[in-house]
Every structure is written in structure tokens, then in C-alpha cells.
Amino acid sequence: MFQGLEHTAIASPHPAQLAQWYVDHLGFRINFEYAGNYFVKAPNGSLLEIIPSEGERAPQGMKDPGIRHLAIAVDHFDMAYQQLKSKGVTFLAEPYETQGNRLVFFADGDGNFVHLIQRARPLP
């Protein structure tokens, strides 16, 4: 009956601009738009919906309650990291390795937390 996540939504003061950020920086494509809402699709088929926000953004920390980050799977960590770096992406820290996995955290065009991950082995 339940199949899993169909998409995750991000509220943005500039939805078209943030959608284009995901296109320009992470290889997503805008695959549907309606009434100022944008669906962007990753190469692996996962979807984000970017909707118009209302009000001011609250300060956020890495472990505040709620959804904290989006994890972007990559095949070639160093290449992906260098590509983002060359595009002026703001990294929150240097890349690191844990349990054989390589990670780096950064901010998207609106300041939402995102990270690259290359897993040594897929999760069970």
C-alpha cells in the first residue's frame, strides 16, 4: 500500500531561482511547474518540489528539530566536490570520511543544508 517518498518540498522566497540552482549545480531538471511551484527531478528520479515561502526564515542548526539536510548520492566524490567548489558553493566544513563513506556539507541557493555522499557500500 505505502510505496515510499514521492517527493520532498522546500519552501523558498524565490522558487524559480532555487529550482534553477538545483539544475545548474546538481544536474536536476525542471520537469513540472504550476502556479509558482516547481518540481525538479534528479538524474536518479528523485523529486523535490519547490514552493513559494511565506514569512521570514527561522535560524537553523545542523541538529535542530525537523528535516536537517538533503543527501545527494554521487559516483565520483572528488569530481563532484570540485565542480561545486568551482561554482562558488558555500561549504559548511571540509570533506571527511566516516565508516568508509565520503561526505561534505554545503548550502543550496537558499541556505538549506545539503550534502554529497559517496557510500563505500549501500545501506541494507
Q: State pLDDT tens for residues 33-75.
A: 999 999 999 999 999 999 999 988 888 888 888 888 999 999 9
pLDDT for the residue 74: 97
Length of the chain: 124
Give per-residue pLDDT as tens, 80-96. 999 999 999 999 999 99
Q: Give the SS3 label for residue 83.
A: helix
> Same domain, yes or no, for 45 and 72?
no
> Same domain, yes or no, for 4 and 48?
yes
Q: In this structure, what C-alpha cell is assigned to residue 40? A: 525538479
pLDDT for the residue 65: 81
Question: Is position 60 within any domain?
Answer: no
Cα–Cα dist 90/34, whole Å: 30
Query: Cell numbers 565542480 correspond to what residue?
Result: 83
CATH code of 122's domain = 3.10.180.10
Cα–Cα dist 90/67, whole Å: 20
> Same domain, yes or no, for 123 and 77?
yes
This prediction has a pTM of 0.93
Question: Is position 59 within any domain?
Answer: no
